[in-house]
Amino acid sequence: MNVNLKKTKEMIMGVNQNSFPLLEISGSEIERVTTFKLLGVIIDCNLKWNKHLDYLCLKSASRIHFLKQLKHSRLSSDELLHFYITVIRPILEYACFMA
């Protein structure tokens, strides 16, 4: 399998990142990151959800603003509900794990 070195990232979780040498593949250094987005979920090296939740709040807030604009345009409740179910709710429910 060929590795795309431009897309490959390294993340060290739970420990001091500076105590590990940089990873190299075929003489090229792999970029070390503290967060990255994987399948729409922002993963943090400290395994905290803060950055992912901030991202979800920002994304859903912009769409809720659009929902308010639609309400001012006098759309029916059914049309507003349809917009919410199809555009806003999937953002809030995606990758939501039930315990």
39 within some domain: no
pLDDT tens per residue across all 99 residues of the chain: 788 888 889 998 877 777 788 888 888 889 999 999 999 899 998 888 899 999 999 999 999 999 999 999 999 999 999 999 999 999 999 887 654
Q: What is the pLDDT of residue 67?
A: 96
Instruction: Assess if residue 40 is contained within a domain.
Output: no
Same domain, 26 and 59: no
Task: Give Cα separations from 25 to 4, 18, 40, 56 (angstroms).
Answer: 10, 19, 27, 34
pLDDT at 98: 55
Torsional sign, CA 85, 90, 91, 96: positive
The pLDDT, as a whole number, for residue 13 is 87
- Domain with 4, as residue range(s), is 1-33
Count of the separate structural domains present in the chain = 2
pTM for the whole structure: 0.74
